[in-house]
Chain A
Amino acid sequence: MHKWPKRLLLSSLALPLASLPAMAAEKIISPTHLWNEIWQEVFYDLLLIGIPFGLAAVYMMIRYRAKSPGQVGEAVNLSPAAAWGWILIPCALFLADDLLLFGKGWTLWNVQRVVPENSVEVKVTGHQWYFDFDYGKGVTDSELVVEVGKPVVLRMTSDDVIHSFGMTEYRLKEDLIPGRITYLWFYPDKPLVTEVDCMEFCGTGHSQMATKVKALPTAEYQAWLGKHKSASAGDLKFASQSDGAASK
Chain B
Amino acid sequence: MTTATYDHAPAHSGGGIGAWIFTTDHKRVGILYLIGSMAAFIVAGLMAIGIRIEQFAPGESGLIQYFVGDIGKRMTTGDAYNTALYFHGAAMILGFLIPGLTGFAANYLVPTMIGAKDVAFPRINALSVWLFYCGIILALLTFVIPDKPDVMWTGYPPYSIKTAGNTALYVFTVHLIGFSSILGAVNFITTIIYMRAPGMGWNQLNMFVWSILTGLTIQLIFVPVLAAAVTLLLLDKYVGTGFFDSARGGDPLLYENLFWFYSHPAVYVIFLPAMGLVYDIVATMAKKNIFNYKAAVYGGMCGLVVISGEVWVHHLYVAGMPNWLRIGMTMTTLMISLPVGLMVLSLWGTLYKGAITYNVAMMYAGLCFVLLLFGGLTGIPLAVASMTVHFARTSFVHAHFHFIMALFAAYAVFASVYFWFPAMTGRTADNAVSKLAFWLNVIGTQLTFWPLFIIGVDGMPRRYWDYSPEVVGAVRSENWTFYHHLSTYGAAITAAGIFLMIVGWVYSAFAGAHVGRNPWGSKSLEWTHASYPIGPGNFPEEVAVSADWTPYNYAK
Contacts and interface: CB of A to CB of B under 8 A. Distances in A.
B320 A177 contact: yes
Contacts of A90: 341-342, 345
A39 B358 CA distance: 38
B33 to A, nearest CB: 30
B332 to A, nearest CB: 10
B324 A72 contact: no
Contacts of B291: 76, 78, 86
A83 B292 contact: yes
A200 B393 CA distance: 7
A9 B324 contact: yes
Contacts of B370: 54, 57
Contacts of A106: 327, 330, 386
Contacts of B79: 204
B406 interface: no
B407 to A, nearest CB: 16
Interface string B291-334: 11011000100000000000000000011100110111011001
A224 interface: no
A206 B381 contact: no
Contact of B381 (A42, A97, A169): A42
Interface in A26-68: 35, 38-39, 42, 45-46, 49-50, 53-54, 56-57, 60-61, 64-67
B327 A178 contact: no
B386 A64 contact: no
B320 A57 contact: no
A70 interface: yes
Given A108-B386, A166-B393, A206-B82, A74 B353 contact: yes
B377 A49 contact: yes
Given A64-B354, A76-B288, A195-B471, A9 B327 contact: yes
Interface string A134-169: 000000000000000000000000001110101011
Interface stretch (B131-139, B424-432, B437-445, B462-470): B462-470
**Which one of B150, B349, B471 has the greatest number of beta carbons of chain A within 10 Å?**
B471
Contacts of B383: 101
B459 interface: yes
Given A10-B328, A101-B334, A199-B461, A109 B386 contact: yes
A105 B159 contact: no
Contacts of B341: 90-91, 94
Nearest to A91: B338
Nearest to A100: B334
A240 interface: no
B324 to A, nearest CB: 5
A76 B353 contact: yes
B82 A204 contact: yes
B318 to A, nearest CB: 5
Interface in A186-221: 194-195, 197-208, 210
A222 B272 CA distance: 59
Interface in B181-229: none
Most buried by B among A54, A101, A207: A207
- Most chain-A CB neighbours within 10 Å: which of B81, B253, B383? B253
A174 interface: yes
Interface in B220-269: 246-247, 251-253
Contacts of B252: 162, 177-179
A173 B392 CA distance: 8
A195 B78 contact: no
Given A73-B554, A106-B327, A108-B386, A207 B162 contact: no
Interface in B444-464: 457-459, 461-464
B353 A64 contact: yes
Contact of A60 (B76, B158, B351, B555): B351
Nearest to B303: A91
A238 interface: no
A162 B349 contact: no
A207 B353 contact: no
Contacts of B334: 98, 101-102
Given A35-B389, A57-B370, A208-B471, A179 B555 contact: no
Q: 9 closest Cβ contacts across the A-B interface?
A: A179-B246, A168-B459, A73-B288, A105-B384, A75-B555, A207-B464, A108-B386, A73-B354, A98-B334
Interface of A: 8-10, 13, 35, 38-39, 42, 45-46, 49-50, 53-54, 56-57, 60-61, 64-67, 69-78, 83, 86-87, 90-91, 94-95, 97-98, 101-102, 104-106, 108-109, 112-113, 160-162, 164, 166, 168-169, 171-175, 177-180, 182, 194-195, 197-208, 210
27 contacts: A9-B327, A53-B373, A57-B373, A60-B351, A64-B354, A76-B349, A87-B292, A91-B341, A94-B337, A98-B337, A101-B384, A102-B384, A105-B327, A160-B162, A168-B476, A172-B390, A178-B252, A179-B247, A180-B251, A182-B320, A194-B473, A197-B471, A201-B463, A207-B78, A207-B466, A208-B471, A210-B471
Given A39-B390, A45-B380, A90-B341, 8 more contacts: A54-B373, A64-B352, A71-B355, A76-B289, A86-B292, A171-B389, A172-B389, A180-B251
